[in-house]
Amino acid sequence: MEFTEPPRDLDAVRLYRLGRVREALAARDYAGIILFDQLNMRYALDATNMQVWCSHNEARYAWVPAEGPVVLFDYGGRDTLCEGLPTIDEVRPANSFFYMLYGSTYADHARRWAVELNGIIAGRSGGNRRIAIDRVAPIGVQEMERLGYTVFDGFEVMESARAIKSPGEISLMKRSIAVCEDAVAQMRSAMRPGMTENALWAELHHANIAGGGEWIETRLLASGPRTNPWFRESSMRVIENGDMVSFDTDLVGPYGYCCDMSRSWVCGDRPSDEQRRLYAEAWRQIEDNMALLEPGISFRELTHKLRPVPDEFLRNRYGVAMHGVGLCDEYPSVYYPQDFERCGFDGEMREGMVICVEALIGTDGGREAVKLEEQVLITANGHERLTTYPMEWHWL
């Protein structure tokens, strides 16, 4: 499947997202937010530059005010990667201060960074010195506080802004899902006994890039006994005839949107009775829990209405029953009852949220585990399943 034209007006999506950030800032009476996190910058500005590298090197950042001009401080200081974006008013060279570049002199550069930002903020914020920062070395916060700013958590701002998707965002997400599902079909076609897990996982990467996608956030593919317990990463293990192969795509596709779906297959032979039993329970978890999704239901209520995980699978349950997704895994998370008091929080499902429904079924000490996951849009009247790649219906 080839995609060359965007399914929606990209500028309309960009301005919607920037508007969401500004609304979140205004609601908290913040003058603005300093963004270093590359996915937050992608959401607010849609400007990209070596996103993976810059995610672990603080080489580019942006100032997004509640009102007024947005300034991108980009690596290299050029606007060649953001020409024509309606979300950016000015591009400047980044005044970076991370240790790789400046070693023991990084503190001097951090002070210059803060002074430059202060020169922009102070003259445009009407005296408001309440700002948010999402991700920066501690010295960055210290320098802004030294200049009289009160610094708040930027992720609280950004996660709340990102939670509600516009119809345009959903169109872009569906394009990413289509590319991902084509890639999953290529994996299925390529899977055979004797190939390595890595060789199978490479099919997903290849098809994603060829389809206009960007990267894959994890390496969660395992086969046979490596599926249980879960969270082993793709390896050079040779997949054997009759092995369960379970994977989680975590795929960032076209336009930066994530397709987070999981499937489990059997390589070669028909599934054993035990494999079918595990699969059937995972499928029931997905279907029963997904049926609960509707606008207005609280996270606490969802937790206590979830299909109970049978005792034999409880120890190996997934970390969350549901989580949000957009450009990546996002707020909110819905926990199992056993984890709610330790990890849970309340809130409610709202129209426009996109939620991933998770199931991980494997007995404690058992040979294999089944991982299934569907991506779902909360609609005015309930929900819409966005992922369409078929389950193994004939096993049920």
pLDDT, one tens digit per residue, over 165-177 is: 999 999 999 999 9
Q: Is the pLDDT of residue 319 over 90?
A: yes
- What confidence score (pLDDT) does residue 3 get? 64
Q: What's the pLDDT score for residue 69?
A: 96
Of 87-96, 152-161, 223-232, the poorest mean pLDDT is in: 87-96
Rounded alpha-carbon distances, angstroms, from residue 344 to 64, 175, 294, 348 = 31, 32, 19, 13
CA distances from 367 to 74, 130, 223, 242, 306 (A): 49, 54, 10, 12, 26
pLDDT in tens, 175-187: 999 999 999 999 9
Residue 1 confidence class, pLDDT cut points 50, 70, 90: low
CB atoms within 10 A of CB 91: 22
Amino acid at 221: L
Q: Give the lowest-confidence range in 42-56, 183-197, 322-336, 341-355.
A: 42-56
DSSP H stretches of helix in the chain: 10-27, 38-45, 51-56, 99-102, 106-122, 138-146, 154-162, 167-190, 197-210, 273-290, 299-305, 311-314, 337-343
Cα 8 to Cα 223: distance, rounded to the nearest angstrom:
39
Would the CA dihedral through 7, 12, 14, 17 be positive or negative?
negative
Looking up tokens 């046979």 gives 224
**Nearest one of 125, 164, 166, 170 to 148, comparing CA atoms:** 125
Q: CATH 3.90.230.10: which residues of the chain? A: 167-395
Q: Percent of the chain having pLDDT more than 90?
A: 87
Closest CA to 42 of 62, 65, 68: 62
Query: Per-residue confidence at 126, pLDDT binned at 50, 70, 90?
Result: confident
Q: Estimate the crossing angle of helix 138-146 against helix 106-122, to 10 degrees.
A: 50
**Structure confidence at residue 8 (pLDDT):** 83
Cα–Cα distances (Å) from 358 to 28, 98, 113, 269, in that order, read 33, 37, 42, 26
The answer to whether 165 and 177 have CB atoms below 8 angstroms apart is: no
Q: Where in the chain is the domain with CATH 3.40.350.10?
A: 10-162
Strands 32-35 and 130-133: parallel
- CATH classification of 167-395 is 3.90.230.10, yes or no? yes
Q: What pLDDT is attached to residue 273?
A: 97
CA distances from 380 to 167, 293, 349 (A): 12, 11, 11
Average of per-residue pLDDT across 237-264: 98
Q: How do residues 97-123 score in pLDDT, each as one tens digit? A: 888 888 889 999 999 999 999 999 998
Q: Is the pLDDT of residue 78 over 80?
A: no
Question: What pLDDT sits at residue 287?
Answer: 98
> d(Cα 65, Cα 50) in Å, to the nearest integer?
24
Distance (Å, rounded) from C-alpha 359 to C-alpha 176? 22
* Residue that is written with structure tokens 């585990």 in the block: 369
* 70 vs 79: CA distance, rounded Å: 14
Task: Give CA separation, 9 vs 6, 16, 48, 63, 276, in Å.
Answer: 7, 11, 18, 25, 45
For the cut 90, the answer to whether the pLDDT of residue 18 exceeds it is yes
Between 54 and 175, where is the model more confident? 175
Q: Is CATH 3.40.350.10 correct for 10-162?
A: yes
Q: What distance in Å separates the CA atoms of residue 93 and residue 61, rounded to the nearest whole number?
A: 10
**Partners of 334 in beta bridges:** 322
Question: Per-residue pLDDT for 2 more than 90?
Answer: no
Burial grade of 393 (CB within 10 A; 0-12, 13-18, 19 or more):
exposed
Mean pLDDT of all residues belonging to the chain = 95
Predicted pLDDT of residue 5: 82
DSSP state of 71: E
355 forms beta bridges with 324, 376
Q: Which two tokens stand for residue 181?
A: 């599902």
